[in-house]
Amino acid sequence: MNDGRYGQIPQGTNPFGTAHPILILGIFVFIIPFFNYVMKWGIPGWVSGIGVGLILLGSFLTIVDG
């Protein structure tokens, strides 16, 4: 019997789940320098290192919040 609960997406949920916003920012910052190969933005490679640091910090905060 289908009582309407299956197949529905809950309203007001975060599409990233319970991931901390710093984790998502870290992933974005980590990926930005790789666009230099295509668009020649001139972003230095050490920005990717900051992204790794933000990913580690965001991962820690996600685990702590969970």
Q: What is the pLDDT along the chain (66 residues), one digit of tens a residue?
A: 555 566 665 665 666 677 889 999 999 999 998 888 888 888 888 999 999 999 999 999 988 887
Res 58: pLDDT = 93
The CA distance from 32 to 28, in Å, is: 6
Please count the helices (runs of H) and the strands (runs of E) in the chain: 3, 0
Task: Please identify which residue in the block is written with the tokens 């919040």.
Answer: 65
Res 4: pLDDT = 59
